[in-house]
Every structure is written in structure tokens, then in C-alpha cells.
Chain A
């Protein structure tokens, strides 16, 4: 059964460094999402992406964040200059249509030191 995959599973970085989190959505899906979950808090929406552009973004998704679908299979989240408060589990998801079931990846745990 097709799955969303994410790499790496765990990323440790120094404050101020750039990180790129990678996701491979399910191949026939058209809508892509990033969510994050800070330890002990709710899963929060970051951004949705369709037709090679951002469809919707939350107030968390500021200028330090960007998303890209560089090659038709990968979907990446870049954080330009990480802060301590960016430490969280980041989940990628994809769906066939915007209101259909979202399939989630296993997450990348980002630790900013």
C-alpha cells in the first residue's frame, strides 16, 4: 500500500542553521501539507501546497519557512534560520483532493540546540 515517507527521521541542528525536511507524497496525490507538533502540544497546520504554489498558510509559516516541490516527487520544507522554538515533530501529508483523507508520513523530529 502506498505510503508517505519522510527523511530524516531525526535531525539535530544548531540555532541559526538552515534545515531541509524532505517528504515523498503518494504519487497520484495533488495536495500536500506540512504540520508540526511541539512536544506536549497540539498538531498545528503550517502550509498547504497545490499546483506548485502555496494554497494556504498559517501565521506560524513566516518568512523563515518555505516549501518546494523540486522534482515532481519530493516535497520539502526549508527553515532558513532555525530557532530553539522550531524544535518539534514535523509531519508531511498528502491527499487526492483537498477535502479527502490526508495520508500522513511518520514525521521528522527536529531538535534545535
Chain B
């Protein structure tokens, strides 16, 4: 079974600064996807960024980038130039990518990290 661990329950950062959220996972699979989801207060979860395990290049989406270390099973999220609207709970999640079709999109989540951006 896969597990995902986010060791930082809460983080805070000043507006315009950079913050990194940690995530580690455990799996015996070689092909999988990793995600960061954001859940703003009282709003639904939205996808921030996605990484395919077979890709060595780290995914980037504007101010959001990841540091994917496959051997270390680590998948951290870096937010540059933090904005007040980045205040949210951030979830790291894992999904198997089984070409045989036995995986049907099940996401395994970490505990979440509450990020507060201060003005």
C-alpha cells in the first residue's frame, strides 16, 4: 500500500517570499503520478501541479514548482513570490499509473499543510 507523509502541519511565509512544502511517499511501484492540491478556506480543492514519475524534469506552473527526487521518494512544492491568495491547505497526493488497468484513479493523500501568507 502507498503512503504519503507531509511532516509540516503548518507553515507561514511573508508575502513575496518563497516557501517550500515537504512531502514524502512510500511505494514499490515504478510508474505513478504525484500531485499537489490546494484547498482555500471554505472552497473546493484545486490542482496546483502534477508530476509524472517517468519524467526526470521537475514540473513547473508559473510560481509553483516541484523538486521531485524519485530515489528519495520526495516531492516538495516551492511557491515563489507568495501571494495572499496562496493561503490554503495544501495536500500532496499519489496515484498509481498502472497500464494494466487495475488502477482507477485512486488518490492517496497526505495529512495536509496549512500555509498562511502574511502581508
Q: Is A104 an interface residue (CB 8 A)?
A: yes
Interface size bracket, B side: 20 to 34
Partner of B107, one of A3, A55, A102, A106: A102
Q: Is A101 an interface residue (CB 8 A)?
A: yes
How close is A111's CB to chain B, nearest CB, in angstroms?
17
Residue of B nearest to A100 (CB): B105
Q: Is A107 an interface residue (CB 8 A)?
A: yes
Residue of A nearest to B103 (CB): A98
Task: Produce 1/0 per residue, B72-91, CB < 8 A to A.
Answer: 00000000000000000001
Cβ-defined contact, B44 with A4, below 8 A: yes
Q: Which residues of B contact A58 (CB under 8 A)?
A: 106
How close is B69's CB to chain A, nearest CB, in angstroms?
22
Q: How far is the CA of A105 from the CA of B43 in the complex (A)?
A: 9
Partner of B104, one of A3, A35, A48: A48
Q: Is A75 an interface residue (CB 8 A)?
A: no
Can you list 23 residue pairs at the A/B interface with Cβ under 8 Å?
A: A33-B106, A41-B111, A42-B111, A42-B112, A43-B91, A43-B112, A44-B109, A45-B107, A48-B106, A56-B103, A56-B104, A58-B106, A91-B44, A98-B104, A98-B105, A99-B33, A99-B103, A99-B105, A101-B50, A102-B47, A102-B107, A106-B44, A107-B44
Chain A residues engaging chain B, CB cutoff 8 angstroms: 3-4, 31, 33, 35, 41-45, 48, 50, 55-56, 58, 91, 95, 98-99, 101-107
Beyond known contacts A42-B110, A99-B105: 13 more, CB 8 A cutoff: A4-B44, A31-B105, A42-B111, A43-B91, A45-B106, A45-B107, A50-B104, A55-B104, A56-B106, A58-B106, A98-B105, A102-B107, A104-B45
Chain B residues engaging chain A, CB cutoff 8 angstroms: 33, 35, 37, 43-47, 50, 91, 95, 97, 103-112
